[in-house]
Amino acid sequence: MTLPCITAARRFDIQAHVPFHIGAEQVGWIRSSDVPLLARWPDVFEIDATRVTLAPAFDTVDLRSAALGSVIGALAADGRIPGWRNETYAIRNAFDAAPLAYIERAASRFFGTLTYAVHLNGVVEYAGGGAPQLWIARRSDTKATDPGMLDNVVAGGIGWGFSVAQTIVKECWEEAGIPEDIAARATAGRTAHVLQSLPEGTQAEQIFIFDLALPADFAPRNQDGEVGEHRLARIDEVARWIEEDAMTVDASLATLDCLLRRRWIDADACPGIEALFAPPVLERTIA
């Protein structure tokens, strides 16, 4: 049986979307049903049956950002872009690429632009040989996305101006009260690639997965109000939560990567997971 998170991570209907271009470069996916909303701005977008393109008059990062910013503000005021974050994301087709424009984080899914995130598996291994456990967070009921669902001990989007390492340190403290000297010990796992349709648009995201060994006497403590609680769980409990779809898609993928790499579960338990550690065919046109 295919796990729900594996199916959801690639639930995307290309026929229900049109590419979003800046110049000759595709940078996102816009739902066909949302395209008419953009017709209000004929000076900003060139729209035809096959694509939406930012008008070529906006030929600098600043001009593109300003034009998109005015559109995004109006769409948010109309309720078309929910969950305003006051965070800046860059439109870029690779993490180390130069930005083509800057947008409000909440708009990234409306335009289906490629985003980046870190997820940390909080691992506790006992010197006496006891069974390893994982710290799992439950998202606050007030979160804009996936409220109340189970999550990794630390997870967060990478805003413009932050490196992966800086994001790890920042999110470790904000979400779990993990000090920098411990956060710096995080070790890299694999990168998961998600392309899924959501109520607010398209999540096209690369998730950088890390494991972080936490001391047996350490208990996470949320600092920013975005986590409702933390649980120290057995491996079989976490596996059951993934099967029951109680964890977010992103957290499920990050956790499965950890469990597979450490051989705490068998690969036969999650058919199809390996394909998610390579960009999907559709994503290769924007990544």
Q: Residue 283 pLDDT > 90, yes or no? A: no
Residue 213 host element (H or E) = strand 201-213
- In this structure, which topology does domain 14-113 adopt according to CATH? Transcription Regulator spoIIAA (3.30.750)
Confidence category of residue 284, pLDDT binned at 50, 70, 90: very low
CA distance 99 to 163: 14
Amino acid at the residue 84:
W
> Which pLDDT does position 282 carry in this prediction?
58
Q: Residue 152 pLDDT > 50, yes or no? A: yes
pTM: 0.94
| Domains of the chain, residue spans | 14-113, 115-265
DSSP state of 99: P
Which phi and psi (to 5°) does residue 155 adopt?
-160, 140
> Which pLDDT does position 178 carry in this prediction?
97
> Which pLDDT does position 1 carry in this prediction?
72
Same fold for the domain at 14-113 and the one at 115-265? no
- Residues of the chain above pLDDT 90, percent: 89
Give the chain's mean pLDDT.
Answer: 94
> Which pLDDT does position 143 carry in this prediction?
83
In angstroms, what CA-CA distances link 145 with 67, 83, 151, 249?
26, 8, 12, 11
* Pick from 45-49, 200-204, 255-259, 282-286: least confident: 282-286
Q: Residue 140 pLDDT > 80, yes or no? A: yes
Dihedral of CA atoms 38, 43, 45, 49 in degrees, nearest 10, equals 80
pLDDT in tens, 219-274: 999 998 889 999 999 999 999 999 999 999 999 999 999 999 999 999 898 999 99
Q: How much is the average pLDDT of 128-143?
A: 91
34 token code pair = 């949302």
Q: How much is the average pLDDT of 185-198?
A: 97
Confidence category of residue 281, pLDDT binned at 50, 70, 90: low
Kindly report the number of other CB atoms within 10 A of residue 96's CB atom: 5
Half-sphere exposure of 117 (CA within 13 A, CB side): 24
pLDDT in tens, 103-123: 999 999 999 999 999 999 999
CATH of domain 115-265: 3.90.79.10
Q: How much is the average pLDDT of 173-198?
A: 97
Q: Residue 145 pLDDT > 90, yes or no? A: no
Q: How much is the average pLDDT of 134-162?
A: 93
Q: 35 and 47 in contact (C-beta within 8 Å)? A: yes
SS3 content of the chain, % helix, strand, coil (to 5): 30, 30, 40
Q: How much is the average pLDDT of 63-68?
A: 98
